[in-house]
Structure 1
Amino acid sequence: MSQPSPSDTPRLVVCAIAGSLRRGSYNRALLRAAQEVAPDSLDIRIFDRLGDVPLYNADVEAEGDPEGVRALKDAIREADALLIATPEYNHSVPGVLKNAIDWASRPPRGSVLAGKPAAILGASPGMTGTARAQSALRQAFVFTQTPAMLQPEFLLGRANEKFDEAGRLTDEGTRTFLKQFLLALEAWTLRLRD
């Protein structure tokens, strides 16, 4: 019996979300770089509609998920894994990202986040590269039962020195590490699936 060729092997779909609404966000740029360096076995799809997700309100939820929330949940549901690039605001996760996680965590039983393999990364002009925000997001993922990859960590500090004016990641060492990080996410996803 012959082995399937690499082209026959289905690609893993990764839903990538940047926790920033800013067009020039380093974290959005980091996800675009991830698309560029990803192995052929990963299909990284950036969900770029956080601005369409309203503030969480149980009264609104009781009437049915708004369209932006449905789109978010569908993107996560259809993916094999989740990749979140978070900025750090006031030592924590930006409100827009936390709001999206709050919506995606509903309903508490059967949420699209439950059991979804995830990886967290972040870019910042500061030296710590979003370490505190990533830690806060991991705490939220404990409650949502979202298994976040522990290692390697991806904490891109001094991001302003590693992207060009067009938002392209130009630092070759960072590009190489990003590819290794994505390979680790692939292995994490396959491990949890098996």
Structure 2
Amino acid sequence: MATSWKKVVVFLGSTRDGRVGDRVAKFVCKTLTEKKLEVVFVDPLEFDLPLLKTPVHFYPDPSKAPPKLVALNKKIAEADAIIVVSAEYNHSIPPALSNTLDYFSPKSYSNKPSAIVTYSPSLVGGARAGIQLRSMLGELGCVTVSNMFTISQVQHCFDENGVPKDTTQGSKMNSGLEKLLSQLEWWANAAKHQRENCTAF
């Protein structure tokens, strides 16, 4: 069945030395690309934003805002869905992730769904950060789908290219992500229909 959702922004949350989150993000982005979706990947390590002082929407003259913020804000506003790939720092949301998300207005995120992928070396799989992300993303206006894909003992799951290390891991990772994406697709298509045909509240 053809899908009408087209554009997805994927945020990665971790900047720590020795992180494995980039492997998880590669796996997610590759899967989305195989579905013929347009993917914008936001890595805070590469995007390199300073601690938040002036969000993009606080500039009285938008032309004075840093071009990379303006460009990313446009991508977020045009997206059909948001995916957050997050580690768990001290059982909470990584500061680089919240710092990046807060650079943009809730207006840019609003009326589109989001999905959460968390991971950790423990058996918890980053779920505690994921629960907190539900609240944060909801307040930004991109309410999360009910399913959350948590990856426990992530250090054993992917190689450096984001490929599952063996057949068992591959089956587990693919099924977990597909369950998440099937929900996200349904809500993304529903929200897109509403945005295109109804007056925003």
2:87–2:119 Cα contact (<8 Å) kept: yes
Structure 1 residues 13 and 59 mapped into 2: Cα distance closer, same or farther (>3 Å)? closer
Runs of at least 5 residues in structure 2 that lack an aligned partner in the other structure: 194-201
**Structure 1 pair 11/191, CA: closer, same or farther in 2 (3 Å)?**
closer
Distance in 2 (CA, whole Å) between partners of 1:65 and 1:119 is 28
Match of 2:81 in 1: 81
Q: State the 1:19 CA deviation.
A: 0.8
- Amino acid aligned to 1:182: L
- Identity within the alignment, %: 30
The two structures have a TM-score, normalised by structure 1, of 0.80
Question: 1:18 Cα shift?
Answer: 0.5
Match of 2:39 among 26, 35, 44: 44
1:30-61 alpha-carbon deviations (Å, 9 max, x no partner): 22112333352533331235533222114994
Tell me which moved more, 71-80 or 11-20.
71-80
**C-alpha RMSD of matched pairs (Å):** 2.6
The 5 A counterparts of 1:1-194 are 6=2, 12-22=6-16, 25-38=19-32, 40-48=35-43, 51-58=47-54, 61-62=58-59, 64-105=64-105, 111-150=107-146, 152-170=147-165, 171-172=169-170, 173-194=172-193
Larger helix percent? 2
1:51-73: CA deviation from partner (whole Å, max 9, x where unpaired) = 33222114994464333422331
The total of aligned residue pairs comes to 183
Gaps of 5+ in 1: none
Offset of residue 117 of structure 1 = 1.4
